[in-house]
Structure 1
Amino acid sequence: MLAVKPTSTSVKSNFPCDRLSPATSGAGKNGRVKKIHVPSSVSWAKPHGSVRAVISREDKTAKSPSTGTPLKSKDVSGSLPSSSSSSSGGIEVKAVVTIRKKMKEKINEKIEDQWEFFINGIGQGILIQLVSEEVDPVTNWGKSVVSSVRGWLPRPSNHSHIVEYASSFTVPHDFGNPGAILITNLRGKEFYLLEVVIHGNLSWWDLRREDCSSNGEDTMTDLGHKDDDLARPVIGGEQRPYPRRCRTGRPPAKSDRRSESRVEKPHPVYVPRDETFEEIKQNTFSAGRLKALLHNLIPSLAATLSSSDIPFKCFSDIDKLYNDGVLLKDDELNEFGKIPFAGNFMKQVLTVGDRLLKYEIPSIIKRDRFAWLRDNEFARQALAGLNPVNIELLKEFPILSKLDPTVYGPPESAITKELIDQELHRTSVDKAIEEKRLFILDFHDLLLPFIENMNSLPGRKAYASRTVFFYTPTGVLRPIAIELSLPPTPSSPQNKRVYTHGHDATEFWVWKLAKAHVCSSDTGIHQLVNHWGMAVEDPSMPCGVRLVIEDYPYAADGLLIWSAIKEWVESYVQHFYSDPNSINSDVELQAWWDEIKNKGHCDKRNEPWWPKLETKEDLSDILTTMIWVASGQHAAINFGQYPFGGYMPNRPTLMRKLIPREDDADYDKFMLNPQKTFLSSLPTQLQATKIMAVQDTLSTHSPDEEYLGQVNPLHTHWINDQEVLELFNKFSTQLEKIEETIHKRNKDIRLKNRSGAGVPPYELLLPSSGPGVTGRGIPNSISI
């Protein structure tokens, strides 16, 4: 970010400082140098003004004391006097180095810190070197000046974990443009470099275009193992259009020079240090990884010892994961102790007791163990569950496929009008469509082209599903028919079967299996595809649309959040773009939109649905959509993964068997023990516990999470415009009122899709949350 003021220039970039290898830093065998490019062209040849170049890592994790004040940027007129030419003919340059310590330190680390402060204070800990773009003809290296960082500033930080040091050096008049800053850590301990502030006389500055460019875009060329005959198709391009990713700079694969090589264990996946998790979030995530490892390791060992990955034998086996934990036998405990990466801490944990590992009870069964079995709960989750964005209004009959009929068979669905009429009893299909009471989850065309390949995998069986719902006059959604399709074969050109609830025991269990296959399809489509058409335009409504189903918790709460974001964005855009022509004339803004459209989504750049960026309204709509997708929508479809999916029968991530037919060899087994058939069709114990651990981690909020409408006290200086601050405070207040509205809605007994006996209230779009798996909270952005 480049901010220009009349007397100063601020340049910000993110970095910590660690020990780099000689190949990386070019610093010789010590390899403790951090090279920081100054992303502006600054000349100090003639003192025409003052430059304040700030290379900063904004602190996102530090918690400000309740009585403390936010950290302020150092002011030129403060303890650092303005630069002046020295008697030797050079220019005196002042520098301030700000370092952040760990916020939670052990006693020995605090003692080490005191020693580090002493070493740094006498100039033996950190060197700062300013490097010119001009080459010294004697050394053939860039001209440079170096100085030791010494002492503390007279104005210490208000935060105990923030430490500031001062330094000064003299720059010759012929130094030229500064191109980089080298920070050398002379000590063996890594430190977190928060900010470097440099003051010197300014001749001119110019922001270069190449300094603003990214590393470039690329297709998904690193899927699978290119060098192990396990390559996957490239995602991106005409055949498989997909948004571009950022190129990482990894070396090319040996077998395909156009593809990047993968990072394999034990080497960590490279993430730029300025994009890694902050200290608190990393600790939270690491704890989650340990929990996931422990949760997964014991079932893995059990599967290894028994030479097979076994299914759940009864529902009580699943309940034991929450009630009793995992029971460790002596031989399993001994086997675990032999694992090389099981440290002393983990071994000690394992000896605490037999029943060690418990999963938290997911909210879907916390109030009612059998809620997931009911048809109305199956339907309710299409409106207020983990994936409430795929249900559509059914507008015409018959239901038709858009796939090639020569490949996938006749386009007509096997769900006929006569069958629906039979299920509706007191009304007809035509009348239900006219009254907007029929809805559909249609995964047929999305999945059918892939079903043959999916079912060829061992232990994987799937259908392309369609589910039709009826919205009753009492305000409850009810599933009335499920169609499960397989690719056509010569003996079965219409390989489709339709299931209804039925009235006998056999039909009940078959219906339960059909619902499980629908949930598995829904889990696979989750976060990939969105459907629209659940609202109609209505200028009389506050948001300009009227929901087809009034009691649609995701949409009803989402519209409140959307409207608040839109109002905030519109006021913000109006503040900075008061001139109607200012959007078209903003070259940087237009270049930003051009890069999104033509580089980031180049496979779809010619599509007619791209919005234009010509007016303030256009910009407001674009920004509102971006903010909503990264905040509200992501929260609604992400943080419910464990609350809904943590009980595997409710949302199985895969199915291992097809529904038995009358002429199948397994049909007799199904008739003798339908529960065993049902459970053996679901993921095995190992598969289930693995995905439960992943869902638990994905659904967890970090203690330092920043939520929509909130600003970390340390970041309040980001907003120095009083009018913008007032607009933001208004936005925050509006979100607080929305939270109160959602609570009131959840207590309204008339809204059956968000309340009722044993029904978990719909809280996924409540803006605020505490840490952990809460099933609520809208973070400012996606962090995964």
Structure 2
Amino acid sequence: MGIFPPCSSLEMLEKLLGSVCGKTREEPKTEERKIRGTVLLMKKNVMEMTDVGASFLDRVHEIVGKGVTLQLISASHADPANGSRGKLGKEAYLEHWVTKFTSLSAKDDAMFNITFDWDESMGVPGAFIIRNHHHSQFYLKKVTLEDVPGHGQLQFVCNSWVYPAHRYKNDRVFFAYKTYLPCNTPEPLRAYREDELTNLRGDGSGTLKEWDRVYDYALYNDLGSPEKGQEYARPVLGDSKEFPYPRRGRTGREPNEKDPNSESQLPLLNLNIYVPRDERFSHVKFLDFIGYSFKSLGQVLIPEIEAVFDETINEFDNFQDVHKLYEGGIKLPDGHALKNTRECLPWESFKNLLHLDGGRPLQFPTPDIIKNDRTAWRTDEEFGREMLAGVNPVIIRRLQVKKLHTLFYSYPWNNYFSH
């Protein structure tokens, strides 16, 4: 048995020449290809219109070289110099941001092209890093790559707000539209997944800002106002024998000036309560919320006046009282003039608020379940649907055999109970 592994005479000669001359045959270079893709996003908006001021500032940043970059991450090849994380491709910029003018309507998306330089030896991308160097945030919906070597089309479904890069402590990373169990996650992507989970959990410190993405919990310690006096103080709910629950989303606001164990409150009409940005109302839903608030005024004022002469204040005397919540308002006349007026209104929320389709302004829409049949809510099918659609499934269990003493429970059907 020889000391050296078997090799051809040509290889032996090449090694010998290499040791003498100091060089061997050059390794074949891997081919670098262009991967083209599209990025679908929604720009920052105000109400139902694109924020023109923010769009202008974004263009200024783009002109001075502060654009939006994406960097692909390999899902199959790790970089030992980077903690065995997936190899990174070259940064690529969104194209034609300055020259591409988009619709002023917030519901219209903007699509941009992007071109990546990708080395085929790095395999298939499994994630990407995005850095927004603009002035304003945008809502990233989807990134689609075409003709990925060895894969074809590759999609990244994002649906997340991306704020300027200086707002984040860590880079924003999005993963390909493919689900993995933790044990099956490609090794080059594992560290990125773990970092993402750490970012979402937070470290339990600091005041959470609009651009933070922390899903953390805290005690209910903001129910009282001890700064107004002891009679306005409230006990802390949660994490005690007497009040083990509930929990609320952590906001990290400053402690109360009189009671350090309590958190300071926001003004009554302040809606700027911390909620992870991706969980906040969209512009459409927020306007619906405001619209229903106005509708509530019409539903509250008249009943409150009537309640003065009612023996059972703040109670429903019969089912007709419930149905009256969806009745009333001012019946508008039908006709082409009203239809034309509705079409001229720029914001869909105003149209829905005023019901300029022959409906009644400031009137709540009738729930679908009682539109055709006012007694449909009482059926077994509807009760079953509500149970499965609500929080009750957490207490539903399979049918089990209940062992009862036959001396007292002799009937067979008594031996079966659902819990």
- Give me the TM-score of the superposition, normalised by structure 2: 0.41
- Give me the TM-score of the superposition, normalised by structure 1: 0.25
Which structure ranks higher in relative contact order (CA pairs < 8 Å, sequence separation ≥ 6)? 1
